[in-house]
Amino acid sequence: AAPFLPSALDLLGRIDDFIEELESGIHYREPEWGDDDRDDYPFDDEVWVDAWDELLAEARQACLKGNWELGAAAYEKLLHAFALQDDEDVFGEEVCPEHALESDLTEATLLYLRGVYETLPASSRAESVLAAMEELYLHPAEATLAALQATGPEALEGFQEFVGDLASLLESRGPEAPSGWDGYRDWLPEALGLSRGEKGLRDFLIRSGFRHIQACREHLRQTFGEQAWKQALDTARAAAKVLEDPREKAEMLDAAAYAAAQAGLRAESADFRHAIWRLEPGEFHLLAWLGSCPPGTWQESLAEELGELPTLQERFPTAGSELWALLRDPWSDLADRLAKAQRPQTWDRGMRR
């Protein structure tokens, strides 16, 4: 890489000075609060907030002007500085810098990754961009591969090759982080979908035994968008059978119920909603199940369910006394509630990352 011009060195030098100033704790002030003033802000003048925002804005301008090398170098320093919020001598426990700044940190992350992408040959982009993301302290959920492709003033060249290489790299590595950001969990499904399409994503799900919840969600997004209800139903049903986390299992059952309903399989849809009710007892799921039953059959279905009431109460003692009271004497106002209940019109549990 060519040496930085004096103006670029000035920006990077000012960033280094700012971070050194933060690390020294010069802006931190011990809160002097009593019982009545615990909302006192423990920082002096908030000058560090404005300074950080201004430096991020300069890094942004460098990227938007096509100076990706300078932008990436500046963003790398500024984004890694967020790790200082774990140092109580710098920020204490009262303030999170990411919430104090006005800068768009998702955009900052994407511009940084685009800078890394733009300054490297195609053969090393996947590994380097992945490493850059993994090393960051903050990992905004909106920092997706599609968002990366759309970031910056010009189109991203070589993107299809990049996501193909990234998918192969992540699949070969497997899961790595039990918590926090993990490329296998958070980027692999999208990389597979972008590079190999619905079939490639489905093939991966089969190889992984439908245990990759994010890949299941990505496949469902694609098949729902294409109104490919049978493919969606097959994925959701298979995932619901093997996933052990109750919330994830309920999410896949919910998707299966919606797909079955759209495919005209009303009885099967009702079976899925009954399984959700059994997994997560609550009035909403009860009404969703009964409302999905074939016409004129909900009373018979509920009568059979009442025989299981003691077992359900024992399994879910905290589900709510109002729910159990409703089930003990269901015929009084359940029909009225059922008539007024909102039916699930879309599948949205897994559509939010």
28 DSSP β-pair partners: 43
- Measured from the Cβ of residue 150, the count of other Cβ atoms closer than 10 Å reads 12
What ranges in the chain are assigned the alpha helix state H?
Answer: 6-24, 47-64, 68-80, 97-100, 105-118, 122-135, 145-149, 159-173, 183-186, 188-207, 213-225, 229-242, 246-262, 266-279, 283-292, 298-306, 309-315, 321-328, 334-340
User: What integer pLDDT is reported at residue 345 of this predicted model?
Assistant: 54
CA atoms of 52 and 250, how far apart (whole Å): 43
Report, as ranges of residue numbers, the positions in the chain whose pLDDT lies below 70. Answer: 1-8, 28-45, 92-94, 176-179, 309-310, 312-353
Whether the CB-CB separation of 80 and 16 falls below 8 Å is answered with no
Instruction: Check residue 295 and give its pLDDT.
Output: 80
Give the single-character DSSP code of 43.
Answer: B
- Exposed / middle / buried, residue 323 (Cβ in 10 Å: 0-12, 13-18, 19+): middle
pLDDT for the residue 208: 92
Instruction: Quick: pLDDT tens for 89-111.
Output: 787 666 778 888 999 999 999 99
Structure token pair of residue 96: 């999170």
In the prediction, which pLDDT does 326 show?
64
- Cα distances (angstroms) measured from residue 272 to each of 101, 240, 257, 258, 259: 45, 10, 5, 9, 10
- Backbone CA torsion sign across 254, 259, 261, 262: positive
pLDDT, one tens digit per residue, over 152-199 is 888 899 999 999 999 999 999 887 655 578 899 999 999 999 999 999
pLDDT at 273: 94
| Whole-number pLDDT of residue 351 | 38
- What are the CA-CA distances from residue 127 to residues 164, 239, 317 (Å)? 12, 30, 49
Is the pTM of the predicted complex or chain greater than 0.85?
A: no
